[in-house]
């Protein structure tokens, strides 16, 4: 049987590493090429367990370098792309918006263009899968859910750059016939997430008895999904999703930030043998994020009914597994929080 060569971008990052591991282990008939430039968020340690697999190749490179990308596509003749590489942190997009445009918009455009150059004469059996976010829909009020037909209304430079990249994917579908699929997912959590994001940041700070910074009044709401369940959704959508369709992916699991951090504190007290309530004393309300979206919540009924996907763990199970992962991977946490992370933290939290 002919081996299918699939490009996964951003595979050394948080979600990407789970997706690469899942595809390399589950589909020996695929050759998985992981392209990553290894920013602060990308780490080859995340893929140690599969780095010698026969059906896996790592390529170090930048999606925003168009001549490099064109040459890479010519060399490997990728039949499919699963595109996760991005600048992904909202707070960083507020201080560095141009970088977000370069990576998330121009990088995506380079991949689309290289894919078009290869296959525009015959798209049979080809697929470009773009991984996007629910943040493109902007913010919800107290009620309602994001559906696949909710109008785009992004509020941060991050979400604006992701919205723009989604539009380019659709435009390549309409204009050149490029077969694509897009998914827009809610907040992920789990092992290997860089500790700039709320959950691993709080786990790390609790371990070190440092303050837990809650933006504004803490009533902002997110819909949390365990990262392995996102990887399984990506598998379903990649294999069975309809061409030129969008799928919303979410956990049907809304938490205000303050309630979530309190739950995390309870779990950590038990795991660290601390007195009940000790970690909660670390909570500090701090200056709000500019343009902070009040609430995200996904209507995932389309992927559930069409592709028979649903989350496999409850939030408490997922959070417990996540805490256990960070506590038993203290070296990983230590290595990613040394060096530049300290400068980032000082600037972001004005320490």
**Where along the sequence are the contacts to ligand DAU (CB under 6 A)?**
88-90, 133-135, 186-187, 197-198, 201, 213-215, 220, 222, 257, 289, 296
319 binds, among ligand NAD, ligand DAU, none (CB under 5 to 8 A by kind): none
Distance CA 168, CA 209 (A): 45
The residue among 41 and 319 lying less far from ligand NAD, judged by its C-beta, is 41
Closer residue to ligand NAD (CB): 39 or 253:
39
Q: What number of residues does the chain have? A: 351
State how far the Cα of 112 lies from the Cα of 83, in Å rounded to an integer. Answer: 10
> Whole-number minimum distance, CB 221 to ligand DAU, in Å?
8
27 is catalytic: no
Three-state secondary structure call for residue 121? coil
Among the listed residues 91, 134, 166, 235, the single catalytic one is 134
Q: Is residue 85 involved in binding ligand NAD (CB under 6 A)?
A: yes
User: Which residue among 135, 223, 235, 254 is the active-site one?
Assistant: 135
Q: 3-state class of 34 per DSSP?
A: strand
Helix (H) or strand (E) segment spanning residue 205: helix 198-207
CB of 63 to ligand NAD, least distance (A): 4
- The option from ligand NAD, ligand DAU, none interacting with 81 (CB < 5 to 8 A, set by class) reads none
* 214, interface contact from ligand NAD, ligand DAU, none, CB < 5-8 Å by kind: ligand DAU
Q: Which does 131 bind (CB under 5 to 8 A by kind): ligand NAD, ligand DAU, none?
A: ligand NAD
Three-state SS sequence of 46-112: HHHHHCCCCCEEEEECCCCCHHHHHHHHHHHCCCEEEECCCCCCHHHHHHCHHHHHHHHHHHHHHHH
Task: Please identify the residue of the shown chain whose CB is closest to the bound ligand DAU.
Answer: 133
Q: Could you give the CA distance from residue 129 to residue 50 in angstroms, rounded to a whole number?
A: 23
**Active-site residue list:** 134-135, 158
């Amino acid at each position: 049987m002919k081996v299918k060569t699939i490009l996964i971008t951003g595979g050394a990052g948080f979600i990407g590493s789970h997706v690469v591991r899942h595809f390399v282990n589950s589909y020996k008939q695929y050759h998985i090429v992981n392209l990553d430039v290894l920013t602060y968020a990308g780490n080859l340690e995340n893929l140690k367990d599969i780095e010698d697999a026969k059906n896996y190749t790592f390529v170090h490179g930048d999606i925003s370098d168009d001549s490099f990308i064109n040459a890479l596509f010519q060399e490997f003749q990728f039949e499919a792309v699963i595109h996760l590489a991005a600048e992904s942190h909202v707070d960083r997009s507020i201080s560095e918006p141009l970088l977000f445009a370069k990576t998330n918009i121009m990088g995506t455009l380079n991949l689309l263009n290289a894919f078009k150059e290869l296959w525009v004469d015959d798209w049979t059996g080809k697929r470009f899968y773009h991984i996007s976010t629910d943040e493109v829909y902007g913010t919800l009020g107290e009620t309602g859910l994001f559906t696949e037909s909710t109008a785009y209304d992004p509020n941060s430079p991050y979400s604006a750059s992701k919205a723009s990249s989604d539009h380019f994917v659709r435009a390549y579908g309409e204009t050149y016939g490029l077969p694509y699929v897009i998914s827009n997912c809610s907040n992920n959590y789990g092992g290997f997430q860089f500790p700039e994001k709320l959950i691993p940041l709080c786990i790390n700070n609790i371990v070190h008895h440092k303050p837990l910074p809650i933006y504004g009044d803490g009533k902002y709401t997110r819909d949390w999904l365990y990262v392995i369940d996102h990887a399984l959704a990506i598998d379903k959508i990649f294999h069975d999703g309809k061409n030129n369709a969008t799928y919303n992916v979410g956990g049907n699991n809304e938490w205000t930030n303050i309630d979530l951090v309190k739950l995390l504190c309870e779990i950590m007290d038990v795991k660290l043998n601390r007195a009940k309530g000790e970690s909660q004393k670390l909570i500090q309300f701090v200056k709000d994020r500019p343009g902070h979206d009040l609430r995200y919540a996904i209507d995932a009924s389309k992927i559930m009914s069409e592709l028979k996907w649903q989350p496999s763990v409850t939030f408490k199970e997922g959070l417990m597994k996540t805490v256990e992962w960070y506590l038993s991977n203290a070296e990983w946490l230590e290595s990613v929080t040394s060096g530049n992370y300290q400068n980032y933290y000082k600037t972001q939290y004005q320490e």
